[in-house]
Structures are given as structure tokens and as C-alpha cells.
Chains A and B, each alone.
Chain A
Amino acid sequence: MLHPMTAPTIVSTTDLHRRYGEGPAAVDALAGVSVDIARGAFTAIMGASGSGKSTLMHLMAGLDKPTAGSVRLDGAEIAGLDDKHLTELRRDRVGFVFQAFNLLPVLTAEENLVLPLTIAGRKPDAAWLESLIDAVGLGDRRTHRPSELSGGQQQRVAVARALVSRPAVVFADEPTGNLDSNASAEVLVLLRRAVDEFEQTVVMVTHDASAAAYADRLIVLADGRVAHDGPAGGADDILDVMKAIGP
């Protein structure tokens, strides 16, 4: 396994700024953030509410445009892309997992899983699909609708969907926020396996130190700036780091 700090970078931002509003009421969600996300690593981004962590992820994923600065994803500069190209990016090279409402209620688990491919008009590789379904442990529930799945099962389908097109990077926004500790563990183990076995890159925003402990690297934001960037240790180490940074 490559060391995250020296491995090639898959996503990098340079002096990223994001301002909301104008004049005296303007808010700087990000005030100059430069990070490099290593390929094949599991990175956790933490910070207090309003620290800018979600904003950073949205910008890295191409869901938002920065006020200043640049974002490179998988070799391409994405800050200036138009909607069409950003859409293609999201479809083919980025995977998403949200805190809730990840799945379309009208599709089955399997259909939700292959949704990005269906949108692109492509058929999934049967072997890859089977191994994914196996990996997330949903073999007997593949024809069930989301309303028939538990919260944990839904999130696992969401993770599988994020992986199905073998994206350059998977972004997860508080993926365990709505789950109990057992279900959380299942999802986090899955994300870890994605990195270890499928050689994916995962970037996870979380406020939960025990979730961040699954990661290889920890970035902490405070007031729109990077306050810490280093290897992620165990949950206790992470709590210490957070305490040091302050409220």
C-alpha cells in the first residue's frame, strides 16, 4: 500500500475560495484551501459546523463553482467546466453517497445500484455487478424497493452505486449520520474495503471521530481554512486533534 502523503494525487485544490453573498453580509465558507487527495487512500474531512467541510467536498466533486482558486480532478481542471461536462464527470468519474435519500423510491435495489450506468446508456459488466452485490451483502434483497430496506441496507446500496462505474473518487457526505452504530460499522467497513480491495479513493466528510478512524488521512477545517492535515490515527487521537483546534 502506498503512503498517502507521497502517492500520486487524484484530486487537488489550490487556494480555493468560496464566498456567499455580497458586501458586508458576505460569508467566506472557504478562505484559501489547498489540499491534495491521494489516489487509493481513504481521506476523512472533519470540522465544526460552518467550518467549510461540506463546501470543500462539493467543490471537489464539481457540484459547486469556487469564487477563486482551482480544482483538478483526475488530471482535469474542473472549476471552469460547463454543466454538460460537469454532469458527465459526475456520471462517469465520481461516486456519491449522501446522508439520506440516496435512492429512488420507484426503483429496486439492483436498479438503483446500476443507475449511473443506465443513465449513461451502458450495461454493467455482469461479473463486476455480482461481486459488488456480494461485497455489500445484498444478494437476497436485490429486487426489493428502498421502502423495504433498512437504513443500513439503503446506505450499502448507495455505496455500491457509488462504486459501480469504478469512479476516480468516491465522495461520502456524512454517510453514517442517520444510522445506528451497527449499521454505521457495516457502511464504514464497506468503504474501507472499497479502498483496500477495489483500489478506490474515498473522501468522507464526517463529524464522527470513530467514523474518521477508519480513514488513512485526516484533514480538519476551521473557519474556511485547513487547520490540520496528517495521518488519521485511532478515534482517541482524532478527538485530541479536534480538541487542540478548539471550538
Chain B
Amino acid sequence: MRKVALRGLRARPLRTALTALAVVLGVAMIAGTYIFTDTINRSFADVFSQANSGTDVAIVAEKVDEDFFSDPPPLDERLVARVRAVDGVASVSGAVFASVSIRKRDGDRVASESFVSSLQPAPFEQFRFVEGRAPAGADEIGLDRATFDDEGYALGDKVKIVGEQGAKRYELVGAATFGDVSSPAGIPVAIATLPTAQALSGREGRLDGISVAADQGVKPALLRGRVRGALSGEPVAVRTGSEDAAAQAADLEEDFGFIRTALLVFGGIALFVGAFVIYNTFSITVAQRTRELALLRMIGATRRQVLRSVVLEAAVIGVIASLLGLLGGLALVPALRGLLGAIGAELPSTASVIAPRTIVVALLVGVVVTVVASLVPALRATRIAPIAALREGLTAAPKAGRARLAIAGLLCVSGAIVVAIGLLGDASAGTAAATLGGGSVAVFLGVALFSPQLVRPIASVVGAPMQRLAGISGRLARENATRNPARTAVTAAALMVGVALVVFVTIFAAGLRGSIDRAVDRAFAGDLTVGAKSGFGETPPAVAGAVRAIDGVAAVSSVRFTEGRVASETETTSVVGFDPKSISRTYKLRWKEGSDATLARLGDDGILSDTGYSKTARIGDRVTLLTPAGKRVTYVIRGLLDEGSEFGLLGGGLVIPNDRLAADFDATDDAFVFLRYAPGADGAQVRAAIDRTLAASFPDARTRDREQVKEQQAGQINQLLYLIYALLALSLIVSLFGIVNTLALSIFERTRELGLLRAVGMSRRQVKRIVRLEAVITSLIGALLGLALGVLFALAISRPLEQDGFRLTFPVGTLVALVVCAALAGMLASLWPARRAARLDVLRALAYE
């Protein structure tokens, strides 16, 4: 039996390959994700180890609460002296490593992330100058070798770097390698003396870390204990050098965990679709091999042997798919990197890391998915009666049993309930997402099981115009598509999944854009905003100051974002910082209780609470917060806002004056600066003046008017949307393979019929047209089902969000375009099968048994 299965696979290599391909792409995505994230983690881990190679004990600022997103405030310089006094310390060095924007010669950023690193004495310093010398003066810097070479700098150049105080030029005096490599994980680093680095990054009197070397014979672990003792009570983490490197690597891995999970989810979707294709392929091949399998049963094979034979085939295909998927994963890595780079997350490129775990997961996933998908057809194979070996003709299409419809209904209903629970329940984001995912899978399966009932009606609607346009070819295409509704339905269902998801995110994004547009229109009272060019970053407070000084600017109001931990809440609370004196002149606050007059009465500890934070908060309530700076502060709510959570620029949490943010949260950078022109001023001229100032001193900031703010928000949503499209494209490609597969197999099945048509005078072109139209009908069925499901999902998710101002909008043009694309994709999928059908040797086809 084993021989039968394996020979069968080998005898039809093309079919085996096509079937395997369904799963290869999904495995490739998963393998690629692991390889990609492992590689990044490894290259950073190497950097961290290298950085700490001379350090026995490392002291860094500790996050006050591990759920906080923002970095803790830098260390006080005075700690260095206390550490030096500890017994066993040979040398101590404080260092700065902060984000600054290094510019190219033409003024653009060198990379999306770049840093300044302060020089340290031996044994701590890892940068080795191979050209020129280390910087010594206040206006001198060195660069990492890679950036030096890539950007074509020369010693003596004046390099522009933008830090907390704006843009400044520094003289380039040297180029250095980081250990043995030309840059730390491909990240550009400027090297400066400690005072220069502190000034550049706004860390006067502060440090990012303190490194300690131990005396001869003193173990790092021992020294760590002593230093801890000396610094007890300070918000610091004291670790040995290697522990610190490991901790940094672990933190980074956790931060990347989100990206990894997201990518894995898309890989999972591709595998889910692949499972449909495998199920279909095996269903068809089992039906086609009825006589062969019946013969085996007739000569004595047991049901279990037949089952094992089919499952073995599936397992072999799974293994092939996994191995190919691993290779595919390697090939996908640069694509993943490019995709993430396109939305601004540039990541280093180093040699790929293929962990044993990746290989095991790839094999497991490929084999398990293929085997599970083949189980139902395999069971069907066992039910073939031995007498079928003697019967002529193909088995008729199985009718939809009551049981099948009942299961379909059950899946749909239970899936919908689970989705509802996920949407309306209170669980954390992770659990909610998992619940939504599980519910959606159930709904997809239910619809797929039910879809054969819909094939005939949809096919007649779609096929009617085809018949009119393409005559007999159209008619036959429609008949063929409806001949075995279950088979057509499953093929279409594979496409349905991808289309439904694309439709859903498209509608959702359109609604999001609409809501944001409305929110901006409602709240924007000023004339301009100034914010980071990329839209993601922050601007130093000096920007607001510079803008305020310009002639023709009447009101300037900054907005900041940070976070805090309220003891009773499971998640951190978002905090929005604002300037009570100027906000109402540039932003229309929406009050639930209170008015703009409240702003003057906030006093030292007054704050506002938004409905996004709590619907039951009352004026006079006291709120105690732990801030990222480690302070525990209590505020009094003096006003209630009704901005809504994600769509109002100010909404979502507690709204606290900026001076408190600076004092208690150590948050001084602005997310937005709103401004208003003075009455009578020429707007265009004032803006030009602001633009000039920014270009000169703060090239990372730019002005935006209301329409541009909307565009920028829309742009961010669109970017994310295209990223999701690109990731879903994989699933769509898999479903197209499914169409190719089904067509090829059904052509094989209809060889005699096609031979007959050719014998009776049908031209090759007409035959090709039949195949093509069949593919179009199948993909249109899938697209229409997907459209319906996608709309339903969008409707479902918009209910709970409606109170936050989310309104559903249907981008009809885009949706129609999607359906048309699906039809075109079906045509594309039919190219090769159509050629095969047309190339059939008439004679051989007629003699075909």
C-alpha cells in the first residue's frame, strides 16, 4: 500500500508539485518570519554583547513599570562618584547613547534611526578609530565606518546633526569600527565627547548608563552586589555586563514580538487558505481514483490501509511543502525587510539565522496542515465500495446531506457568537484578537460548508452575460462550474477568505479615514500644526519656542503624549499633555462637564478626564498615578471631556497640563504644536517664515494645515493598509493556485469530453475560452462571497466603535475594482490549464479510458 501511494505521487509529479505549492507559501511566510526576527534579534544581541565586552557591572535606568512604553528618564551624573567609592571598583565611566538625527550631505536623514554615543575610556570603549582620530573638542564628532563610507564623507567635513537644540554642524575628525564590524547592526552612530553628546541630546548632567570595571580578582557578580548596595533606593538596574547585554536583547525581542506575531498571523491565514486547496485537491483525486481504490479493496486491502495510504500521500506532500517552504522563507526575508522599511521601520541586514526551532516548526506546520486537510477525503476514500471497480463512468456529485448543512449552520452561528464576544467583551487586546480570530475561522468554515448551495444561483447570474457574449463556450463553462457544486464552492471558498479580509480592512480603513477627517474638521481651530516630518516622532520643545518667536504668530499650543499607571487599572493609562492657557485658541475642546472657562481654574493639580478613560469619573475625583519618571502623583479631576478615544486628537485618557508633564513625567517633547496667526497677518508669509526657520534649525519638523493633517493621518492609514494588502497577497496567490489545481484536475477528468468537442469541430480557442470562463465564474463566486462576508465583518466591528465616532463608509469604487481584479486573477489562473486543454491530442483524448 505504501508503494501504491508513493508511486502514485511520483507518477504525477506536476500534480504533486501543484498540490504542495498550496502549503509552501504559508510555510514560507512562517519560516521567513522566524528567520527574519531571529536574524534581527541575533544581530542586536551581538551588538549588545560587544558593547558590554569590557564591562563587569552595568548600571542603567530602570523602567518604573514594565508595561510603560516610554524610556525611563536618564541617570543623574552624580551617581558616578558614589559608584567609584565602592570597594573593588577599578574604573567607572558614564556614557550617553541617545537618538539624534544625522543628516546626509544633501540634508536628508541618513536613516530613520541614528544615535550619538559618548566616548569612554578603555576598557569600555568599543569604537576603534581606523581613520583620523577620536573627537576631542566640543564641535568634533566621529562616525561609524559604514556610514562614513556609504555617505561618502571625508575627514574635515562639517556634518549636520539635529538634536534637542536643533541642527548644528560638527567637524568630522575620524571614522571608527565597532569592534570588528563597520557599524553596530547597520545603525549610523555619531561619536562625541561626553559633554558634546550630553548637549546634543539634551542630557546635561545626565547619563544613559554607567559602566564599571572590577579590580583584579574581583568577580563581577560580587561587585554587582556591592554596587547595588551603594545605590539602593535609586531607580536603577544594576547587572553584570553579560546580564545587561542579555536583558537588552530580551527587551528588544519582546518589542519585536508584536511584529513577529502579526507576520505569523498572516502566515497562518495563508496556511488556512492552503488547507482549503489541499482538501479540494484530495477530494478530486480520490473521486478520480475511485476505480483504482475500489480495486485495491476488492483484492483485499482493508479500510484502514486505504486510509493510511491517502494520509501517507498527504504527509509526503507536506514534507515536500515544508522543505520548499523553508527555502521560500529564506527568499522572503529581504521582501519582509523591504515591506517594513516601506512603512518606516528600517532594520539591519545581516546573515540569516536559521534556528533549529524554525526548521522544526516549518516541518510540523507543513505536515500537520496537509494531513489534517486530507483527512475528510481520506475517510471518504475508505467508504468506496469494492464493487465500484466494475462500474463504468464517474461517480455523480455528492449531494449536500442534511448533516453537512446542519454543521455549516452551527459553525456560522457559533463563530458569530464568538466574534461578538471578542468585540464586546472586556478582555485584553491579545485575548480579544485571539477570540476574534477563532470566531472568524469558524464563520469562514461554516460559509464554506454552506457555499455549494449558492454555487448554482450565483453561477447563473454570472454566467448569463457570459452565455450571451461567448455562446456555447459560455454555456459549457457555466454548466461545468455547476456540475459539481461542492468542488466549485471549495475552490471559490479559498479565494473568499482572502477577499473577505481585503474587503474588511478596506472598508474599515475607509471608515477610519472618514472618522479622522471628521475629527480633525471638528477640532481644528487654529491655522497650522507643526510636527515631526515622519508623523510618528516628537519635536523638541525648542521648536515650539522658535515658532512662538516668529512675527505673525499669535497663539502657540503644544500637545504631548505619555502614559501613567493608575493602580486599579490592568492597562496603562494614556496621558495627553496640553497647555491650558493656549489650547482653546487652537483646538475646539468638546466638553461633557465644564467649559473653556474651567481651564483657567485648574490650579496646580487640576486635570481633565476624557470619556475614553472612564465613563463614570466625576468632577472632584482624585486620581493617583505612577509616572514613567517614577513619581507617584495625585491629581484632581476638574473637568470632563467628551473627545472619544482614538479619533479625537486629544481623547482617550487623562488630559494633564504640560508643566505637570515636565515636572512629574519628565515629558518635554511635543507631539504636535498648534498655532494661530495674528489677526491681520498674511498667512502665506507667516507660514513661509516658519518653514524657513524649521528648515534651518529643525529639519525634522514641518508645518501642516488642516487638509495636510488629514492627508498625513490618511497617509499613515493607507500605508498600513497597503502593508496588510501585501501580506494578504500571499493568501490570494495560494487561492489562485487552488483554482489552477482544480481546473487542471477537472480537465484531466473531462479529457474524453474535450476530445469529443474538438472532434466535432470546436476550435482550440473556443476550448480555451471554456476553461477561462470557468475560472472567471469560480473566482467571481469567491469574490462575491468574500465581499458579502467582508461587509458583514465590517458591520459587526463598527457597532461597538460607533460610540467613538466611527462611521462605516463603503468605498464602492474600490470594492468594485476588487471584484473585477478577482475575475482577472481567475483568468490569469486559467492560462496554463486552458493551454493544456487546447493542446489535447484529439485522438488520444478520444481513446482515453
Contacts and interface: CB of A to CB of B under 8 A. Distances in A.
Contact of A63 (B476, B480, B843): B843
Interface in A141-164: 161
The CB with the most chain B CB atoms within 10 A, among A87, A92, A96, is that of A87
A89 B762 CA distance: 10
Contact of B761 (A58, A87, A106): A87
A92 B763 CA distance: 12
Given A83-B764, A96-B760, A115-B760, A101 B471 contact: no
A189 interface: no
Interface string B752-777: 11001111111110100000000000
B483 A106 contact: yes
Contact of B756 (A58, A88, A102): A102
A107 B760 contact: no
B476 A104 contact: yes
B472 interface: yes
B753 A104 contact: yes
Interface string B458-471: 00000000000001
B375 interface: no
Contacts of A115: 472, 760
B846 A161 contact: no
Contact of B764 (A58, A87, A91): A87
A96 B759 contact: yes
A236 interface: no
Contacts of A119: 472, 757, 760-763, 766
Interface residues of A, number: 26
Interface string A91-110: 11000101001101111000
A92 B843 contact: no
A118 interface: yes
B180 to A, nearest CB: 65
B760 A161 contact: yes
Nearest to B752: A101
Nearest to B392: A100
Contacts of A104: 476, 753, 756-757
B842 interface: yes
B479 interface: yes
Max chain A CB contacts within 10 Å: which of B480, B752, B757, B758?
B758
Given A63-B843, A104-B753, A118-B471, A90 B480 contact: no
B476 A91 contact: no
Nearest to B762: A119
B324 to A, nearest CB: 37
B846 A120 contact: no
B505 to A, nearest CB: 39
Contacts of B479: 106-107
Interface in B717-774: 752-753, 756-764, 766
B763 A87 contact: yes
A90 B761 contact: yes
B759 A90 contact: yes
Interface string B527-540: 00000000000000
A50 to B, nearest CB: 14
B756 A91 contact: no
B759 to A, nearest CB: 5
Contacts of B759: 63, 90, 96
B707 to A, nearest CB: 57
A134 B763 CA distance: 30
B756 to A, nearest CB: 7
Chain B interface, DSSP helix/strand/loop, else mixed: helix
A121 to B, nearest CB: 6
Contact of A64 (B758, B762, B843): B843
A66 B724 CA distance: 58
A96 B756 CA distance: 9
A120 B761 contact: yes
A91 B842 CA distance: 13
A241 B471 CA distance: 50
Contacts of B480: 106
Contacts of A88: 761, 763
A87 B760 CA distance: 8
B762 A91 contact: yes
Contact of A98 (B476, B762, B846): B846
A39 to B, nearest CB: 21
B183 to A, nearest CB: 63
B769 to A, nearest CB: 11
Contacts of A63: 759, 842-843, 846
A84 B483 CA distance: 29
A116 B759 CA distance: 10
Contacts of A106: 476, 479-480, 483
A104 B477 CA distance: 12
A87 B476 contact: no
Interface string A112-137: 00011011110000000000000000
Contacts of B758: 87, 90
A11 to B, nearest CB: 17
Nearest to B478: A106
A167 to B, nearest CB: 10
A58 B472 contact: no
A70 B483 CA distance: 43
A101 B756 CA distance: 8
A58 B764 CA distance: 19
B114 to A, nearest CB: 66
B393 to A, nearest CB: 9
A206 to B, nearest CB: 17
Nearest to A89: B761
Nearest to B759: A96
A116 B752 contact: no
A27 to B, nearest CB: 15
A241 B760 CA distance: 34
Nearest to A115: B760
B762 to A, nearest CB: 5
Nearest to B763: A87
Nearest to B764: A83
A13 B756 CA distance: 24
12 contacts: A64-B843, A83-B764, A89-B761, A90-B760, A90-B761, A91-B760, A101-B756, A106-B480, A115-B472, A115-B760, A119-B761, A121-B471
For the complex of A and B, list the 8 residue pairs with the smallest distance between their C-beta atoms, beginning with the closest. Answer: A91-B761, A106-B479, A90-B761, A118-B472, A119-B762, A87-B763, A101-B752, A116-B760
Given A87-B764, A92-B761, A104-B476, 13 more contacts: A63-B759, A64-B843, A87-B758, A87-B761, A88-B761, A101-B753, A104-B753, A106-B480, A116-B760, A118-B472, A119-B757, A119-B766, A121-B471
